[in-house]
Amino acid sequence: MTGDRQWSDDDIRRAAWRIRRRALDMVAREGFGYLGQALSAAELFASLYVGALTPDDELVVSPGHYAIAHYAAGVEVGRIDEAELATYGVDGSRLESIGTERTPGLSVTCGSLGQGLSVAAGLALGAKLQDASKFTYAVVSDGEMEEGQTWEAALFAAHHGLSKLIVLLDRNDSQVDGPTHTVTTLEPVTDKWAAFGWDVRAVDGHDVGQLRAAVRAAQETSAPSVIVAKTWTLSGLDHILPDEADGHFLKVSPDQIAQARKHLVEAEKEARKVEPAPWGDREEARA
């Protein structure tokens, strides 16, 4: 885990590029998969797993299809054996394409969308009753905000003052039916969470500095916290993959894989910061 090492922002950025590269390698065998989730959440997972997570903390990844990002990030902190990544999606492997009860490195199984926050709230309440100092972190997708159970859990967490519960919300405007804004109006997201009694921070989900500062601030609050991280499902490979690509379930050709792999290796060396198109521009283009 993070141990006593002081990780710099560049360390975290390099880890994010490795997360993207490992995720690319995992989908390369079939040429399709949940690559977009790792592209959008690479900095989020790197900032959490490498920069904040300790061996004692509880970890919930609510959307099961984000397992690919969990596997790629878990290698960084010893929760996943890197050699096992080659078995991703293979029959009989623990590393299934969608998380299951056998998924290693997580506190609980969260395959059904919308249930993860409830489980995380229960873990956080248990820790509070035991007067434990550990945090409970939950990664949640924005499409899950369409689930009523998410808001029941949000009410519960605020009512019980679960200050050590920290949610990282990947606001990538993507779900299986298309962009979330075309399926259900979720905005104003931050106002909704605040109205439910949560401490809320909105950040650029590809800005490591903002993410790390938000996590540190969340660790000091007296209420449950949510970090709303605006991201993009093609982030880091937007110059290789077409704008109209389905970020929820990406298909990549052998040529695109070769180009992407080369780019990701070079990007890791340089620790380049992702500079995706402004969020508003992307929303207008997809509307």
48: pLDDT strictly greater than 80: yes
Whole-number pLDDT of residue 176: 81
* Token pair 């050709």 in the structure block, residue: 253
Backbone φ/ψ region at 144: left (φ over 0), alpha (ψ -120 to 50), beta: alpha
Higher pLDDT, 152 or 276: 152
In a domain, 277, yes or no: no
pLDDT tier at 279, thresholds 50, 70, 90: very low
Whole-number pLDDT of residue 115: 92
Q: What's the one-letter identity of residue 33? A: G
In a domain, 264, yes or no: yes
Whole-number pLDDT of residue 110: 73
Whole-number pLDDT of residue 99: 87
What gap in Å lies between CA 165 and CA 118, rounded to an integer?
11
Higher pLDDT, 20 or 98: 20
Q: Which residues contact 161 (CB under 8 A, 6 or more apart)?
A: 128, 222, 223, 224
| pLDDT per residue as tens digits for the range 223-260 | 999 999 999 999 999 889 887 777 788 899 999 999 99
In a domain, 287, yes or no: no
Whole-number pLDDT of residue 276: 40
What gap in Å lies between CA 186 and CA 191, rounded to an integer?
10
Give the three-state DSSP class for 41: helix
Domain that holds residue 238: 9-270
Lowest mean pLDDT among 100-114, 165-179, 205-219: 100-114
* Averaged pLDDT, 20-45: 94
Whole-number pLDDT of residue 272: 55
Number of domains observed in the structure of the chain: 1
In a domain, 281, yes or no: no
The strand pairing partners of 202, in sequence order, are 228
pTM of the predicted protein model: 0.90
In a domain, 278, yes or no: no
* Averaged pLDDT, 27-49: 94
Dihedral angle, C-alpha 76, 78, 80, 84, nearest 10 °: 90
Token pair recorded at residue 100: 């299951």
CATH number, domain at 234? 3.40.50.970
DSSP, residue by residue, 8-28: -HHHHHHHHHHHHHHHHHHHH
In a domain, 283, yes or no: no
What gap in Å lies between CA 97 and CA 80, rounded to an integer?
15
CA angle at residue 24 from 13 to 114, to 5 degrees? 80
DSSP, residue by residue, 166-235: EEEEEE---BTTB-HHHHS---SHHHHHHHTT-EEEEEETT-HHHHHHHHHHHTT-SS-EEEEEE--TTT
Type and span of the H or E element at 248: none
Whole-number pLDDT of residue 281: 45
In a domain, 215, yes or no: yes
Token pair recorded at residue 177: 């039916």
Separation of first and last alpha carbons in the chain: 41
How does the average pLDDT of the chain come out, rounded? 89
In a domain, 285, yes or no: no
- Which of 17, 2, 27, 25 lies closest to 245 in space, CA to CA? 27
| pLDDT per residue as tens digits for the range 113-169 | 889 999 999 999 999 999 999 999 999 999 999 999 999 999 999 999 999 999 999
Q: In the chain, helix, strand, coil percent, each to 5?
A: 45, 10, 40
5: pLDDT strictly greater than 90: no
Whole-number pLDDT of residue 227: 98
